A and B are shown apart, each in its own frame.
Chain A
Amino acid sequence: MKARKKADSIATFFFYSSAIFIGILALIILAVLVVKSLPILSNNNFFELLFSSSWRPSRGEFGFLPFIVGTIEVTLIAMAIAIPICLLSSIYLSEYATKRMRSIFMPVIDLLAGIPSVVFGLFGILVIVPFVSFLGKMFGSSTTGYSLLSGSIILAIMVFPIIISVATAVLRSVPHELRESSLALGATRWQTVKKVVVRSSIGGLIAAVVLGFSRAIGETMAVLMVIGNVAIIPKSLFDPAYTLTSLIANNYGEMMSIPMYDSALLLAALMLLLIVAFFNIISHIILSKLIKHNYTNEA
């Protein structure tokens, strides 16, 4: 009896300390970023850093606006592309596809999820960039194709698998009897999907989208390869752009002789972290509101 109790308390201790460790790790990362970005924060005007779009490090001008705008825009456009496509295909896979169809599709989606970022980037250069360049010419803009749109498309493709597999799992977890109840009342399949299945899994679907979002916002390699990396605020979908992640990945370890440069890059990292945290908090608020309003079944 005593031995078991002891084992139990040791186990508790390990669980507890693992949780603490993760918490401390997050704090350490945050602390490093804050400490490292302090020099530039004390040297430059904070609002200028945020809202100026002139990025001339050699002259000591660090306007982050192009990168912030680029990051947010590329993510939002990617999600605008990804969300409808992902939700529709998840609904198809969960509600309409036969078992056989699912057993073919799901492994393909998992495969897609396992493709390294760099490979997506190459695919982007070989296929998406020429396509966007062609598209741009149709709309009367002479673009190289290395643009905001290319970055968004690549990003959308990269978040497909994660959103689709989570959303499909969420929809599949809706009990069979619930569909049956609705269909038995004479509802059509589409009415049942719309009013019952999607509605009862709305929380999980939002979670799937948020998961996709968090991946999209931090994704670097593939986007960096196709977005053009020019520090301007893009005026159209066909203009090149630059993201915070690309900024860091392209420059860290180089050009360190320029004063304040490394501090600027760490500030970029801090901003990225804050943007992600901001989106996460927003989605948590939406989610808890939804649960409070009883749209979800488990509430």
Chain B
Amino acid sequence: MTHTKLRKLKISYGDNHALKEINVDIPDKQITAIIGPSGCGKTTLLKSINRIIELSEGVKVRGEVLIDGANIYGKDADVLALRKKVGFLPQRPCPLPMSIYDNVAFGPRIHRLSEEQITKQLEKQKTNGLVKKEKSKKYQDYSKMDHLVEHYLKLAGLWDEVKDRLHSSASKLSIGQQQRLALARVLAIEPEVILADEPTSALDPLSAKLVEEQFKLLKKDYTIVIVTHILRQARRIADYVMFMYLGELIEHGPAEKFFNAPQKDKTKEYLSGEIS
């Protein structure tokens, strides 16, 4: 069963038709990689899934994106609730102009989560086993928000590096750390789907590796859609692959099948490096 379906999705910027009739189901709790040459519409497609695309000037969206059966572009769709459900990680990590702590707490705060809601959210998180609870800690010394910040920084694999300077400015972190902070920030709103636009393109190989590893761990609980132009990265982490070319979705399928037995000529050309 899948929650996220694109139906006859067409997007244009003025008279530039960036996406032409996309139909695809995005599998739950897997990593879907969107690949294709530069300018083929990967970012456009990704951003359409939580309506961030509408921030671009002159953009026009037709067709449907169904999440849990409801069209997110429907008349009475709630954009804010949608964006809480579908998180987005931009290509360049953008620390918000505040401390590391406040960056992670930003989402829960703007959504005005109550202490109980935070507790509930963390209870649910505990069962997933990704973050080990340290028994020795005296938890009553911390506020609920402290718990939350710690939890998601751990989940993003950043906790150990920043635990001693949570209240210093986020812009002082390295680019790789900033990207994992962005991840923690997204995770803290407890989305079901995480969209990531070339999340490792600004990072050095080591930081990129860390982020990749984090995604592999997270797919247990989250549906992840990642845009990448690095074929090797797609091979490493993707369970499902979508190949785009000039605004069209040429081929899509489970990673194994896609890489080992591509059906379309364009796909074969791309995989062999003839087009890029």
Enumerate chain A interface residues (CB-CB to B < 8 A): 98-99, 175-188, 191, 195-196, 199-200, 294-299
Contact = CB atoms under 8 A, between A and B. Distances in A.
18 contacts: A98-B57, A177-B92, A180-B55, A181-B88, A181-B185, A182-B96, A184-B52, A184-B88, A185-B107, A185-B185, A185-B186, A186-B84, A187-B80, A188-B80, A188-B110, A200-B97, A296-B97, A297-B171
B189 interface: yes
Given A180-B52, A180-B55, A299-B169, A186 B94 contact: no
A191 B110 CA distance: 8
B110 A180 contact: no
Contacts of A195: 96, 98, 106, 110
Interface string B147-176: 000000000000000000000110110000
Given A99-B57, A294-B171, A184 B97 contact: no
A188 B109 CA distance: 12
Given A188-B80, A297-B171, A299-B169, A183 B52 contact: yes
Q: Which of B81, B99, B110, B189 has the most CB of A within 10 A?
A: B110
Contacts of A177: 90-92, 94
Given A182-B106, A185-B107, A191-B110, A199 B189 contact: no
A294 B168 CA distance: 8
A299 to B, nearest CB: 6
Interface in B103-159: 106-107, 110-111
Given A195-B96, A294-B99, 10 more contacts: A98-B57, A175-B92, A178-B97, A180-B88, A180-B90, A185-B87, A185-B106, A185-B110, A199-B98, A200-B96
Contacts of B90: 177, 180-181, 184
A185 B94 contact: no
A196 B96 contact: yes
| Interface of A, helix, strand, loop or mixed by DSSP | helix
Contacts of B186: 184-185
Interface residues of B, number: 30
Contacts of A184: 50, 52, 83, 87-88, 90, 186
B182 interface: yes
B110 A299 contact: no
Contacts of A180: 52, 55, 88, 90, 94
A185 B83 contact: yes
Contact of B97 (A98, A186, A191, A196): A196
A98 to B, nearest CB: 8
A298 B97 CA distance: 9
Nearest to B57: A99
Contacts of B88: 180-181, 184
Contacts of A186: 80-81, 83-84, 107, 110-111, 189
Q: Tell me which of B96, B97, B168 has the highest count of chain A C-beta atoms within 10 A of its own C-beta.
A: B97
A240 B81 CA distance: 57
Q: Which of A180, A191, A298 has the most CB of B within 10 A?
A: A180
CB-CB nearest 10 A-B residue pairs: A294-B169, A200-B97, A184-B88, A186-B83, A186-B84, A185-B107, A181-B94, A177-B94, A178-B94, A187-B110
Contacts of A98: 57
Contacts of B107: 185-186
A294 B169 CA distance: 6
A183 B168 CA distance: 23
Contacts of B83: 183-186
A179 to B, nearest CB: 7
Given A177-B92, A179-B55, A180-B90, A185 B189 contact: yes
B249 to A, nearest CB: 23
Nearest to B92: A177
Contacts of A178: 94, 96-97
A93 to B, nearest CB: 15
Contacts of B91: 177
A298 B57 CA distance: 27
Contacts of A181: 88, 90, 94, 96, 182, 185
Interface string B48-69: 0010100101000000000000
Contact of A297 (B52, B92, B97, B168): B97
A196 B110 CA distance: 12
Contacts of B97: 178, 196, 199-200, 295-297
Interface in B74-89: 80-81, 83-84, 87-88
B181 to A, nearest CB: 11
A272 B223 CA distance: 65
A180 B92 CA distance: 11
